[in-house]
Amino acid sequence: MKELVQLEQRHEDFARRETRVVVVSVDSLEDAKKSQAELPHLLVLSDEGRGLSDAAELIDAQNKGPDGRAIDAPTTILIDRQGKVRWLYRPGEIITRLSPDEVLQAIDQHLHARP
């Protein structure tokens, strides 16, 4: 959650780039709604059924969550306005996340957005 709070705090930097941060979580809809209330500038989606996670091949079968199920690998995907994936980052370790500065740099580089 720390990483999401950091992204929330930088919401103006994303807005200047006309970029929206969408967070997909395998948490329940109720938990996603709580997160959404805490992170009003992000869009938090519940993927409790793992339809999107399965389709995008985000499940990391080697790592298990508290409930014993495989968890999503932390993945950052930049998608342009036409729906084309312009960049994808999936770290080698499940605990690794990009900083807001790294995400903004990727946006500037791969989406050619104006800061």
**Is the CATH number of domain 2-110 3.40.50.720?**
no
Burial of 44 (0-12, 13-18, 19+ CB in 10 A): buried
Q: Which two tokens stand for residue 13?
A: 């930097």
Q: Flag the least confident range among 5-19, 39-53, 88-102.
A: 88-102
Q: Flag the least confident range among 32-41, 58-67, 105-114.
A: 58-67
> Does the pLDDT at position 95 exceed 90?
no
> Does the pLDDT at position 86 exceed 80?
yes
Residue 12 binned pLDDT confidence (cut-offs 50, 70, 90): very high
pTM: 0.83
User: What's the mean pLDDT in 40-66?
Assistant: 84
What is the pLDDT, as a whole number, of residue 63? 66
Q: Please give the Cα distance from 28 to 9 (Å, whole number).
A: 24
Contact 99, 2 (CB under 8 A): no
* Domain spans, the chain: 2-110
